[in-house]
Structures are given as C-alpha cells and as structure tokens.
Amino acid sequence: MTYAWIFGGCYLVALAVIFTGFKRKNDFAAERLRENGASAENVRDFYKTVNAKSTPLLAWATFCFGSVAGALISAIYWLVR
C-alpha cells in the first residue's frame, strides 16, 4: 500500500506543478494579447483554443513525470527501508 501512496502523491504533485505552469504561461500570453489591443472575445477564444489543446498534454505530462518521480522515490524508499 505504501507504493500506491508514493505514486499517488507523485501524480498529484506533478499535476499541480504542470497545471500551474500551463496556467501561468496562458495567463501571460492572454495579458500580452490584451496589451496589444485584443478584445475580450478574442482573449476568450484564445483560452478556449489553448485549453482544448493543452488538456491531453497536461494528462500526458502528469503521467510521465508522476511515473518517473514515483519510480525514483519508490526505489529510494525500497533501498532505505
């Protein structure tokens, strides 16, 4: 059961970090659009397009990084215990 907790925690941390990174990047790009005079509708369309494209990428990146982190932490736990 301990390994399940390790992997679950790693997936949650990876999801939080990657989601925050995507959100910051998208917010920065939207702010640049606003600075360049884009309308609110254009910014909304930007978010809709980017969110649709980044959702599968978010899931894939979370799976990859969560798996690698979980494997490394599990190996360290196995060696130490």
Q: Which amino acid is at 41?
A: E
Q: How far is CA 51 from the centre of its chain?
A: 12
Phi-psi domain of 14 (left: phi exceeds 0; alpha: psi -120 through 50; beta: other): alpha
pLDDT tens digits along 24-68: 999 999 999 999 999 999 999 999 999 888 889 999 999 999 999
Domain spans, the chain: 2-80
3-class SS of residue 1: coil
The token duo for 69 is 């982190």
Report the C-alpha gap between 5 and 74 in whole angstroms: 10
pLDDT tens digits along 2-32: 999 999 999 999 999 999 999 999 999 999 9
Report the C-alpha gap between 55 and 73 in whole angstroms: 26
